[in-house]
A = this chain, B = another copy of it.
């Protein structure tokens, strides 16, 4: 049995869908069904239920965005830094393997091959850098799991959200029976507020940045496959290979969904930070080769984006299908 913490969040729901789809025995918990943030509750529960694996998909990423974390620091710290420690301790004491959902946003920039060496470029939005990327993308190499986080409380600037995610990775460490699975800007075909593709369609104006991103169902499946294949414990960047600019994604949205609105862009980061957001945002490229070498297959980011947009389920349709399903099956409905 697999114990899934944070089952009602968007990452937890993706794990739930994959586990159900594969007919796996799992227990989806939310803090409302059992307060697992309390050490004793969780310890007793894990000791009693003896899961083969605990998945921590719980966290606080703010609503509607991470700026909210700047104002809810206690809740953010508690969900992203304290809770993973509690889970880690419980799993260590009960000798239960576990996986923690972390974030790729603890990096800023990429490694760039220049003058015979891979140096770190922290700001991908500098004009010269983006120019170089458009002409020679092959010179850009993503951060690997061996690179230290360069957006964290130790390496400012970083948002409070990012700081707590980096802190959790540092505290959990990689010596135990645990995975650290890094997701980045999740998306899929479901038009929901957390979805990058939904966000881009709602922003009044868009920042054109360059990123590695994760199709969230691919992400959940890949994490489970690492476990099933008994891949070595440790950190994995779980992203769809390839980096993509926001402008490219918007063009795909325009081609596939044909929205009526026009999309405007912020002139530069100076304007973006002055007028749009509070907390620093990171753009980064991550290297997925450790994941791929472990035998997990991943679609490229462009394939994943194209599929998600082709199968796009607008919010209104999702609402109706949820309403229908809660009536039970057809037989019960007909009576």
Binding site for B on A (CB under 8 A): 1, 7-8, 16, 20, 23-25, 27-35, 37-41, 44-45, 48-49, 78, 82-83, 85-86, 89, 322, 325-329, 331-333, 335
Contacts of A86 in B (CB 8 A): 328-329, 332
* Residues in B neighbouring A33, C-beta threshold 8 A: 7-8, 16, 28-30, 33
Task: Evaluate contact between B325 and A37: CB separation under 8 angstroms.
Answer: yes
Residues from chain B with Cβ under 8 Å of A28 in the complex: 29, 33-34
Complex contact A39–B78 (CB within 8 A)? no
Tell me whether B326 and A78 are in contact (CB under 8 A).
Answer: yes
Chain B residues within an 8 Å CB radius of A325: 35, 37-38, 41
Are A34 and B49 closer than 8 Å at their CB atoms?
no
- Given B89, B326, B332, which contacts A35 in the complex, CB threshold below 8 Å? B326
Q: Which residue of B lies closest to A3 (CB)?
A: B27
Take A8-B33, A24-B48 as given contacts and tell me if A39 and B83 are in contact as well, using a CB distance cutoff of 8 Å.
no
Q: List, in ascending order, chain B residues with CB within 8 A of A331's CB.
A: 39
A49 to B19, CA, bound (A): 12
Question: What residues of B have a CB within 8 angstroms of the CB of A327 in the complex?
Answer: 37, 78, 82
Q: A1-B49, A24-B48 are in contact. List 7 more A-B contacts (CB 8 A).
A: A7-B32, A28-B34, A32-B32, A33-B33, A38-B326, A83-B328, A85-B332
Check if A328 sits within 8 Å of B78, measured CB to CB.
yes
Check A39–B1 contact: CB distance below 8 A. no
Known: A1-B49, A30-B30, A32-B30. A37 touches B78 (CB 8 A): no
A141 → B minimal CB distance (Å): 36
Q: Please, how many angstroms separate the alpha-carbon atoms of A16 and B34 in the complex?
A: 8
How many Å lie between the Cα of A203 and that of B209 in the bound state? Answer: 57
A332 engages B39 (CB within 8 Å): yes
**Which residues from B are CB-within-8-Å of A34?**
7, 16, 20, 28
CA distance A38 to B35 in the complex (A): 26
In the assembly, what is the distance between CA of A16 and CA of B325, in Å? 26
Residues in chain B near residue A332, CB distance under 8 A: 39, 82, 85-86, 89
Q: Report yes or no: A82 in contact with B38, Cβ–Cβ below 8 A.
A: no
Q: How far is the CB of A87 from chain B (nearest CB, A)?
A: 9
**For the complex, what is the distance from the CA of A35 to the CA of B24, rounded to whole Å?**
16
Q: List 20 A-B contacts (CB under 8 A).
A: A8-B30, A8-B33, A25-B49, A30-B32, A32-B32, A33-B33, A35-B322, A35-B326, A38-B325, A38-B328, A39-B328, A39-B331, A40-B329, A82-B328, A82-B332, A82-B333, A83-B328, A85-B328, A86-B328, A86-B329
- Determine whether the beta carbon of A41 is less than 8 Å from that of B20: yes
- Report A33 CB to chain B, min CB distance, Å: 4
Specify the chain B residue showing the minimal Cβ separation from A86: B328
Provide the bound-state CA to CA distance between A104 and B310, in Å. 52
Determine if A25 and B48 form an interchain contact, defined as CB atoms under 8 angstroms apart.
yes
Instruction: Tell me which residues across on chain B come within 8 A of A16, comparing CB atoms.
Output: 33-34
